[in-house]
Amino acid sequence: MYYTAHYNSPLGGITLASDGNSLTGLWFDGQKYFGSTLLEEHRPGELPVFEQTARWLDIYFSGKAPVFIPPLHMQTTPFRKLVWDILLTIPFGSTMTYGEIADTAAKQMGRTHMSPQAVGGAVGHNAISLIIPCHRVMGTDGSLTGYAGGIDKKAKLLALEKSNLLSFTQSPVRS
């Protein structure tokens, strides 16, 4: 059985999903790929993982870096999991480019090269937004590009983290 909960953030509603023990999804309501890991059969629930996630979100939206991560269960392909694990290493208030993530992934896979576009696909399908910080990924040219929750939310999240937005440029959302 899968469970859901709702969180009201300063940037809009957020839906949480769990397998009963771990967080399996966290999406801004209505974002691209909303509910991608959520099975049709689910029900609202009050779970310890939802309480932990709400506490994490409260700390995050207060402008501070949470010092813990709720239990996560990444239901995805091995490649996407590798990319999402790299995203988890990006510190609060910092960013990485798709190219930097591609280089890191290539090294971990024993390859000489990895396509930044392949990384972009994995980043874009992140089912546990915010906690797995896909909003901290920038275009290789420094552009503020691609975020399933919308570029406006991405800019607000980076501003909340006090990232230097003056160094980024806006470009169209990539699919």
Whether residue 123 contacts residue 116, with contact meaning beta carbons closer than 8 Å, is answered with no
Strand duo 23-28 + 12-18: pairing: antiparallel
Closest CA to 79 of 119, 24, 41, 107: 119
Distance CA 105, CA 109 (A): 6
> Which of 38, 114, 134, 160 is the catalytic position?
134
Number of CB atoms found within 10 A of residue 42's CB = 16
Active-site residue 145, yes or no? no
Closest CA to 39 of 58, 20, 54: 20
Please give the positions annotated as active site: 134
